[in-house]
Amino acid sequence: MACAGGDLSGLISSLYISLYEISKGGFSGFATQLCRQAFWMNLYIFIFNLFIPAFPLDGSRCLVALLMMCQVGLTKTAMITSLTAFVVVGGMVIWGFIALFLKDDPNGLFTIFIAGFIFLSSKELYDMTKFGRVREHPLFSRPCYSEQESNTVGSDDNEVGASTGTMA
């Protein structure tokens, strides 16, 4: 279901590109340009939301679902998800600084703020995983993950928790 969440932006993008194609012939330049810009904005939101594996974006839910389908334990999945998000945050911060200072693009500041928000969310997941409270996190509090965890091979949380405790 999480992977389908981004489909709405994709659907809206399709609607706007259709309106753009229709409006090229008869509507004013403003309406045509509005449809074109709305298409690109929704396409960017779709890509950003679905393909960046960092909580609270849908990409993190897709990553979690994929890892759980591959029989990775709940705690290990949470640790992988939070560490992947930290890598994404690092890339976003670098991209933001390059955009802000080398390209004189004020959107770089916005990228840095989004990276900070994702960092705080991922740090919360990392801390909860480290202290054995992963099931309290909104990403892992659903009953389907508890059922999956009981069916996962090698899902001993103590073993994974002990190995992640040394990472700090």
User: In angstroms, what CA-CA distances link 115 with 17, 44, 94?
Assistant: 30, 16, 10
Q: What is the pLDDT of residues 125-157, one digit of tens each?
A: 999 999 999 888 888 887 776 666 555 544 444
Are 119 and 57 in contact by the 8 Å Cβ rule? The answer is no
pLDDT at res. 43: 81
Q: What is the pLDDT of residues 88-110, one digit of tens each?
A: 999 999 999 999 999 988 889 99
Judge whether residue 80 has pLDDT over 90.
Answer: yes
Residue linked to tokens 């992947």: 84
pLDDT at res. 164: 45
Are 54 and 89 in contact by the 8 Å Cβ rule? The answer is yes
Mean local confidence (pLDDT), 23-48: 75
Closest of 57, 46, 64 to residue 10, by C-alpha: 46
Mark 9-21 as b/e (b = at least 16 C-beta within 10 Å).
Answer: bbebbeebbebbe
Residue 98: CA count within 13 A, CB half-sphere: 6
Task: Quote the pTM value.
Answer: 0.70
pLDDT at res. 158: 43
Judge whether residue 26 has pLDDT over 50.
Answer: yes
The residue among 74 and 12 whose pLDDT is bigger is 74
User: In angstroms, what CA-CA distances link 154 with 10, 72, 159?
Assistant: 38, 8, 9
